[in-house]
Amino acid sequence: MSAVALRGVTKTLDSASAPILDQVSLEIADGEFLTLLGPSGGGKTTLLRCVAGLEQPTAGDVVIGDQVVTRSPPAARDVAMVFQAQALYPHLTVRGNLAFPLEVRGAGRALISRKVLALAENLGLERMLDRRPASLSGGEQQRVALARALVRDPKVLLLDEPLAHLDPVSRADLAAAIARWHTERPVTTLHVTQDLTEAFTLARRVAVLDGGRIRQTGTPRDVYLAPADTQVARMMGRPGMNVLGGTAHHLKAGTEVQCGPLLIPVPLREYEGQITIGVRPENVSIGPPGRGMGDATARLIEPSGPDTLLHLDTGEGVIVARIPGFLDVTPGTPVGVTFDVTQLHFFDSSGKRLS
């Protein structure tokens, strides 16, 4: 049994400033792979360090298996961690790095050698066993770091943005290696990232952490399709969802929302007053001025090949649209804006999702 539970974990540096972690409660089932997603400065790494025991929470408890380990030293918790970068012992060879956790725990020479070899084979490190970390690529280094974390079969594996500093190819390789390992030998894993793709590649379940609070937990699909609040909505997608404040009016034909110059008919029944609309860039389309829900001025045009990101200035804010292919629009020209009304998300004035 090595499920992990956080119960009201709070971490404050001093009473004057806002808490880094604010009453965080989270359950990770035995063998589950949970990704903690959030912007930088959101408290993700602090949470991870509290689980590892490298930091003490100000309040709340950390439970691993059926033991409360809040006051236990890191070594007693049997957790392993893969850090962002630079965490390999530079003076030891890859073999030395892999053997280190076993050596300090007093494992026998034969056992160490067997385990290191087996793991190296599994993760494709056989040929670099006698090299120093400095002579490895970033991807290889992180692979070794992963191997070092796994070598002693920890109860819990903590991944602190392990892919953050890698080039796209190594990133995909390492993500695949992590995913494969977890399928073969499910170890309870808490993975932290600010990268949506990284989170969705690896996670079965995602927890969104922002401002020291858990905003939403669920499968990647749930979180993406139904963000719990505007903060989460802004985080989902690249670029994130457009969030526009407006006023809803209930009319005979249906409800209409006035957002600056845009008048948006919405499939809501009987809603009056302040409302926030979320729309993904891919659900925004453009047409000639005057033919749409309202007009806006094209500002910044970012072609990326398959599609083009178009920044539209409504006069009250900027909407990003993702238009397929290349665009023949010059900055400064007015365009008509249309939203796909079937794909809209609605939030109340405090930012909570309306069901």
Chain positions contacting another protein, by CB under 8 A: 49, 52-54, 74-75, 79-81, 83-84, 86-87, 89-91, 100-101, 104-105, 132, 148, 152
* Strand locations in the chain (E): 4-11, 21-28, 33-37, 59-64, 67-68, 79-82, 156-160, 188-193, 205-210, 213-218, 242-250, 255-259, 262-266, 273-279, 284-287, 294-303, 307-313, 318-324, 334-339, 345-347
Closer of 90 and 290 to another protein (Cβ): 90
| 151 vs 196 by CB, closer to another protein | 151
How does DSSP assign 144-169, residue by residue? HHHHHHHTT--SEEEEESTTTTS-HH
Shortest Å, Cβ 43 to another protein: 18
Q: How far is the CB of 206 from another protein (least distance, A)?
A: 24
Return the bridge partners of 192, or none. 36, 160
Nearer of residues 49 and 353 to another protein, judged by Cβ: 49
Per the structure block, which two tokens stand in for 115? 């385990």
Contact call for residues 321 and 336 (beta carbons, < 8 A): no
- Whose Cβ is closer to another protein: residue 52's or residue 248's? 52
Contact 93, 129 (CB under 8 A): yes
CA distances (Å), 147 to each of 94, 128, 132, 153, 350, in order?
Answer: 10, 13, 15, 10, 45
Cβ atoms < 10 Å from Cβ of 317:
14
CB of 102 to another protein, least distance (A): 9
**CB of residue 137 to another protein, shortest distance in Å:** 18
Nearest-approach distance from CB 180 to another protein, in angstroms: 23
SS3 assignment, position 257: strand
Q: How far is the CB of 79 from another protein (least distance, A)?
A: 7
Nearer to another protein, 101 or 294 (CB): 101
| Long-range Cβ contact pairs of 238-242 (< 8 A, separation 24 or more) | 238/196, 238/197, 239/281, 239/309, 239/320, 241/278, 241/279, 241/280, 241/281, 241/345, 242/278, 242/279, 242/280, 242/281, 242/284, 242/319, 242/320
Nearer to another protein, 90 or 306 (CB): 90
- Which single residue is written with the structure tokens 């991944």? 159
> Which of the 8 DSSP states describes residue 353?
B
Q: Which amino acid is at 222?
A: D
State the nearest-atom distance from the C-beta of 178 to another protein, in Å.
18
Cα distance between residue 175 and residue 289, in whole Å: 45
Identify which of residues 83 and 271 has a Cβ nearer to another protein in the complex. 83
Q: Which is nearer to another protein, 64 or 228 (CB)?
A: 64
Q: How far is the CB of 231 from another protein (least distance, A)?
A: 29
Closer by beta carbon to another protein, 54 or else 268: 54
